[in-house]
């Protein structure tokens, strides 16, 4: 999860809660819903033999397989209606006579994308009931004795199909395919969550907060600011002093930033960026100094429109930057011109850091693009 997506416009901030709902809505597409139950497709199904009719004179056997799921509707709150076709060959035996029945069957599923702790998206499917199985039997040129058996046969088949589909959906492998551990996916590791464990359901708003608190970690944010380490700083030559008789040249580099968590409602961090400088002040001859600066920054992980994570960093103000000089040599230590250039050096360094932070694309993750890029 590295911030490297190109974002040109200034971000439009949104709340974590809005981010959570947008994330789920964008991530849970019709194709992913179908994929979550596609493991059923091609599964064989055998029902019977069972007896039906007066005194159980009719024997019934049905064999077939499950077809490819199809999304038939999208509902509010990331709810999908899915139809799973079922092909069955039904054979009825009564009084030594066989009858093959033509079947038209489909299983109606309702899939709801729900969020659970710690940062999970779960495709939840309520148990199937016989009424969720549409079943029609058709027989050609049958007498009344056969006709009266069609409805009881259909009723038994509906019940048995519902039971078998529920067993398929409860299979640990099938359940695992419907659980998306966002934290594990971002970390590139296998989820350790057991397929048969219970879920601690949370709302989309809480999911949005947890996305940031669990995924925008100190280590990941440090990876962003660490890129500044080693960046060279070159200032000058600057002309200052009476009649611009003093020439100042500054050369240095950014050190390794220090990062500390802040106890805020938003995900934010205090950052101290150390800068080491070698300063040359030329007044008749070169006078050299060593300067160490600490630049304080506050990094805040924000959600932005449409589905962005932005590490927001307000630029440093010169009055917040601390600078300590160390003279190299007796003449440099007594040089009065040093006092006049301190503010200039601080202002120049602040400008360099401000320019470094100006490009927000280095600190922006287009979450929607990342989701779309996951098969």
Greatest Cα pair distance, the chain, in angstroms, is: 122
List Cβ neighbours of 314 (8 Å cut-off, separation of 6 or more).
297, 298
Question: What pLDDT score does 334 carry?
Answer: 45
CA dist., res. 203 & res. 188, Å (int): 25
DSSP string of 308-340, one letter each residue: EEEEE-PPPPGGG-EEEEEEESHHHHT-TTHHH
pLDDT tens, the chain, 375 aa long: 555 554 556 789 999 889 999 999 988 988 888 888 888 888 999 988 888 766 667 788 989 899 999 998 888 888 999 999 998 888 888 777 788 877 888 999 999 999 999 999 999 999 999 999 988 877 665 555 566 777 888 888 899 999 999 999 988 888 888 888 888 877 777 777 766 678 899 998 899 999 998 888 888 888 878 877 888 888 878 787 677 777 888 899 888 888 888 877 788 899 998 988 888 888 777 778 888 888 898 989 999 999 999 988 888 888 888 877 777 665 544 455 555 677 777 887 888 778 877 777 778 888 888 777 765
Are 105 and 79 within 8 A, CB to CB? no
Peptide bond into 237 cis (omega under 30): yes
Q: How far is Cα 122 from Cα 120, in angstroms, rounded to an integer?
A: 6
Structure token pair of residue 49: 């033999």
What is the pLDDT at residue 83?
Answer: 93
Q: Report the C-alpha gap between 327 and 289 in whole angstroms.
A: 4
Kindly report the CATH class assigned to 216-372: alpha beta
Q: Which of 39, 145, 144, 60 is nearest to 103 (CA)?
A: 60
- Distance from C-alpha of 304 to C-alpha of 314, rounded to nearest angstrom: 16
Angle, helix 16-27 to helix 204-215, in steps of 10 degrees: 100
Total Cβ atoms within 10 A of residue 42:
10
The predicted model scores a pTM of: 0.76
Which pLDDT value is given to residue 196? 63
Domain residue limits, the chain: 25-195, 216-372
CATH pick for 25-195 out of 3.30.70, 3.15.10, 1.20.120, 3.40.50: 3.15.10
Tokens 């509906």 appear where?
A: 158
The CA distance from 164 to 46, in Å, is 9
Domains 25-195 and 216-372 share a fold: yes
According to the model, what pLDDT value does residue 140 have?
A: 60
């Amino acid at each position: 999860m590295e911030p490297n997506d190109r974002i040109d416009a200034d971000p439009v901030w949104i709340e974590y809660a809005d981010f959570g709902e947008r994330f789920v809505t964008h991530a849970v597409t019709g194709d992913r819903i179908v994929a979550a139950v596609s493991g059923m497709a091609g599964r064989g199904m055998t029902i019977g033999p069972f007896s039906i009719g007066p005194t159980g004179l009719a024997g019934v056997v049905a064999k077939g397989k499950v077809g490819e799921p199809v999304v038939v509707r999208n509902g509010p709150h990331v709810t999908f209606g899915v139809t799973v076709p079922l092909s069955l060959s039904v054979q009825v035996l009564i009084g030594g006579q066989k009858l093959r029945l033509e079947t038209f069957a489909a299983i109606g599923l309702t899939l709801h994308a729900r969020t659970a702790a710690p940062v999970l998206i779960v495709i939840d499917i309520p148990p199937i009931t016989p009424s969720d199985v549409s079943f029609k039997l058709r027989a050609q040129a049958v007498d009344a004795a056969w006709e009266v058996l069609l409805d009881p046969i259909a009723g038994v088949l509906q019940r048995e199909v519902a039971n078998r589909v529920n067993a398929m959906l409860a299979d640990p492998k099938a359940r695992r395919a419907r659980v998306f551990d966002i934290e594990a996916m971002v970390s590139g590791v296998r989820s350790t969550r057991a397929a048969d464990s219970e879920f601690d359901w949370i709302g989309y708003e809480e999911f949005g907060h947890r996305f940031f608190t669990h995924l925008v970690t100190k280590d990941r944010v440090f990876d962003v600011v660490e890129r500044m380490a080693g960046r060279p700083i070159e200032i000058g030559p600057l002309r200052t002093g009476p009649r611009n008789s003093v020439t100042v040249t500054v050369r240095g580099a950014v050190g390794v930033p220090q990062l500390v968590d802040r106890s805020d409602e938003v995900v934010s961090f205090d950052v101290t960026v150390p800068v080491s400088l070698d300063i040359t002040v030329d007044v008749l001859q070169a006078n050299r100094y060593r300067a160490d600066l600490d630049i304080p920054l506050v990094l805040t992980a924000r959600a932005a429109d449409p589905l962005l994570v932005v590490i927001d960093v307000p630029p440093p103000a010169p009055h917040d930057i601390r600078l300590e000089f160390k003279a190299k040599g007796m003449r440099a230590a007594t040089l009065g011109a040093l006092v006049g250039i301190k503010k200039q050096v601080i202002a120049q360094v602040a400008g360099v850091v401000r320019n470094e932070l100006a490009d927000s694309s280095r600190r922006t993750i287009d979450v929607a693009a990342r989701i779309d890029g996951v098969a």
